[in-house]
Amino acid sequence: MASDFFPLPEHAVYLDDQRPPYMQSWEWLFTLAALQERFAAGEITYLSLDFNLGASDPGNDGLSVIKWMAATNHWPSEYLQLHTADYIGRDQMAN
């Protein structure tokens, strides 16, 4: 995976294994590892998370992402959105 990321003015990242971002200016990532690399590369202002990542990241899901962010104190500086259609997963991520 490339470690050079296109710099977006709003530093917006969309993590989803299948659905593209609803805004084309958002950077589309598919795995927790890619998100970790992106945080290492610089600030993320906006982050939108899916729960189900199984198609691209077996063994990880949105809750894995939230747990990693909590353990390492890596959070978007402005806004965290949960865009998942999985209501059980969404509730787990929100709590």
At 25, is the pLDDT very low, low, confident or very high (cuts 50, 70, 90)?
confident
> Over 70: is that where the pLDDT of 2 sits?
no
3-state secondary structure of 89: helix
At 5, is the pLDDT very low, low, confident or very high (cuts 50, 70, 90)?
low
What is the per-residue pLDDT across 49-89, written as a single tens digit (0 to 9) for each? 999 999 999 999 999 999 999 999 999 999 999 999 999 99
Q: What is the dihedral of CA 35, 38, 43, 48, to 10 degrees?
A: -30
pLDDT for res 10: 64
Global confidence as pTM: 0.87
